[in-house]
């Protein structure tokens, strides 16, 4: 068995599934762990962490929704002989003030920076693929995404870009040590503009509705979320509304040598896909509900092109 394993946490999640696939294509020995994966890992059960950390040299740390125990995990990783940590965090985390959401993310960053290990922090803006499901499709009833976000633009990033950067950084020891990479799309769009683009590309009449944070929290709780998790997510929107994370960065291009994909390039399949202009070959596979219909309509093969 290899004693040079890359551990990726959040194995079944949207970001990490993509990272794992890329690492395996590079023949990197990967251990993918989460509560429901073949290698079990639970942030709330530290007794199992040492087993998961055995023979690991590099760890991709994707914090839990409320990232409390990252300090403890980092200490265990050091004791287990891990040499490098790559942390997934949020875009512009320096400016998140003293909100619980900001403090939690900063605490996870502090844990990694304060360790004796080589570290890199990847700070991603909101994923374009969030529109494909949890958490942003959960509350929107039929064809009407309802979020507490107004006129402040968000530089949505394609998850394929986040995964490409993470796989590159995880595979290149020493090259990204001590760096904080701000991963954004190339331009900001308001949430209403993003929904309009998705509606146009899909041909479905999806209309954005702005709600207040309290209504959003209440809807999430109705959908089965815990109160504190719902408040945590609503708080993220309150922070975004301050506009301090609306700026864009070239860090995707710096790491990959390729421009980040642009949500403005959403095209239905057959309209530009496969052309040299396609930056990200992966379809968003967006799904949404048409007004008046309970059933979700899958919209396959929407591509982001430049
Ligand atoms: N969404 C965004 O726009 C965005 C932007 C920037 C940064 N981020 C960060 O990206 C991270 C993950 O995003 P994602 O979209 O990949 O999330 P996701 O698809 O919801 O996946 C979350 C992953 O965490 C695992 N998990 C949940 N609770 C756990 C626990 N108690 N112990 C161990 N594993 C647990 C889940 O698997 P199991 O259920 O099998 O445990 C799943 O693999 C979050 O930390 C988020 O803050 C997100």
Which atom of ligand 1 is the closest one to the Cα of 67?
Answer: 45
**So what's the pLDDT on residue 205?**
79
CA of 9 to the centre of ligand 1 (A): 9
CA of 137 to the centre of ligand 1 (A): 16
Which atom of ligand 1 is the closest one to the Cα of 37?
Answer: 40
**So what's the pLDDT on residue 140?**
39
Which atom of ligand 1 is the closest one to the Cα of 10?
Answer: 43
Question: Could you report the per-residue pLDDT of 132-151, keeping only the tens digit for each?
Answer: 655 554 433 456 788 899 99
CB of 148 sitting under 6 A from ligand 1: no
The parts of the chain modelled with pLDDT lower than 70 are 1-2, 65-67, 132-143, 267-306
Rounded distance between C-alpha atoms, residue 63 and residue 21, angstroms: 20
Instruction: State the fold for domain 5-130+154-183.
Output: Rossmann fold (3.40.50)
What residue ranges do the domains of the chain occupy? 5-130+154-183
CB of 157 sitting under 6 A from ligand 1: no
**So what's the pLDDT on residue 289?**
32
Q: What is the residue with the minimal CA distance to atom 25 of ligand 1?
A: 10
Which residues are CB-contacts of 59 (< 8 A; sequence separation ≥ 6)? 6, 7, 8, 9, 53, 77, 82, 84, 85, 86
Rounded distance between C-alpha atoms, residue 286 and residue 195, angstroms: 11
Question: Could you report the per-residue pLDDT of 78-116, keeping only the tens digit for each?
Answer: 999 999 999 999 999 888 877 777 888 899 999 999 999
**So what's the pLDDT on residue 288?**
35
CB of 40 sitting under 6 A from ligand 1: no
Q: What is the residue with the minimal CA distance to atom 36 of ligand 1?
A: 10
């Amino acid at each position: 068995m290899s004693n040079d394993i890359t551990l990726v946490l959040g194995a079944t999640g949207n970001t990490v599934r993509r990272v794992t696939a890329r690492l395996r294509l590079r023949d990197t020995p990967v251990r993918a762990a989460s509560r429901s994966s073949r290698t079990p890992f639970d942030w709330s059960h530290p007794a199992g962490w040492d087993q998961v950390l055995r023979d690991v040299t590099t760890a991709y740390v994707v914090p839990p929704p409320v990232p409390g125990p990252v300090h403890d995990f980092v200490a265990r990783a050091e004791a287990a002989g891990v040499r490098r940590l790559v942390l997934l965090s949020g875009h512009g985390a320096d400016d998140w003030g003293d909100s619980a959401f900001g403090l939690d993310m900063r605490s996870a960053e502090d844990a990694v920076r304060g360790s004796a290990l080589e570290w890199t922090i990847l700070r991603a803006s909101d994923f374009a693929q969030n529109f494909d499901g949890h958490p942003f499709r959960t509350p929107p009833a039929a064809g009407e995404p309802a979020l507490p976000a107004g006129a402040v633009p968000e530089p949505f990033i394609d998850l394929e870009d986040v995964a490409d950067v993470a796989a590159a950084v995880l595979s290149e020891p020493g090259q990204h040590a001590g760096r904080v990479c701000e991963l954004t799309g190339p331009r900001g769009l308001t949430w209403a503009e993003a929904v309009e683009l998705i509606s146009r590309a899909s041909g479905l009449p999806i209309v954005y509705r702005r709600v207040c944070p309290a209504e959003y929290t209440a809807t999430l709780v109705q959908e089965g979320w815990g109160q504190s998790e719902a408040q945590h997510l609503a708080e993220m929107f309150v922070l975004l509304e301050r506009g301090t994370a609306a700026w864009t960065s070239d860090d995707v291009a710096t790491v990959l040598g390729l421009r980040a994909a642009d949500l403005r390039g959403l095209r239905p399949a057959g309209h530009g896909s496969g052309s040299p202009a396609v930056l990200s070959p992966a379809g968003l596979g967006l799904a949404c509900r048409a007004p008046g219909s309970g059933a979700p309509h899958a919209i396959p093969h929407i591509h982001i092109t430049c």
